[in-house]
Amino acid sequence: MLKIFLLRHGETAYNADNNRYCGRTDIPLTDKGLGQAQEVKRHLEGIEFAAVYSSPLQRAANTACLASGRDPIKDERLIEADFGNWEGKTKEEFIAENESLWVNWMSDPAVYRAGGTGETGTEIVERVDDFFRSIQQQHTVGNIMVVAHNGINRLYLAYRLGMPLRNYRQLVQQNSSITCFTLDGQGVLTLELLNSKLR
């Protein structure tokens, strides 16, 4: 059985600034974020990883490198959601500009586009699910580290756990926290840890 250690990247300046939406903007980790990633490595000490994958954005790739001690395989399917007109703004800022976009997204992200012009939840989970299906073809057993982003991680988990995508925000994943799940031969996800530091 395949065991996935799914991480959210460490803190960025956007995270620290009232959780400003940072989809495709490629900004680095803060000093705190670098320390968080190094702390993950201590938490995961002794676990052998068959492979390490990350989003191509530097905040995820650098977290993966620091947490695993090796260069990750970067995969475009793990990039953060395209947030459209919400990019670079806080929730308070973009709701003040156009509240209906947020109301629509929260009612059914499966069909509405983030920020009006970004991705739908369905488009996001389809590409992330395609990634996990492909790594199952390469790795049937063992531990795999995957470092990605808050938006796509939570949407994928909601989808695989059979939740309506509108409930994805009920799953929490803090910076550099670890979520652990198994995938069996039929692709069934069993959640073992959520938003954890392991020790």
- How many residues are present in the chain? 199
Instruction: Sheet containing 2-8: give its strands across.
Output: 73-74, 51-54, 142-148, 2-8, 178-183, 189-196
Cα–Cα distance, 25 to 10 (Å, whole number)? 15
Catalytic status, residue 9:
yes
Q: Strand 73-74 relative to strand 51-54: parallel, antiparallel, unpaired?
A: parallel
The answer to whether 83 touches 114, Cβ cutoff 8 Å, is yes
Catalytic status, residue 80:
yes
Q: How far is CA 47 from the centre of its chain?
A: 21
Catalytic residue among 80, 87, 119, 149: 80
Residues with catalytic function: 9, 80
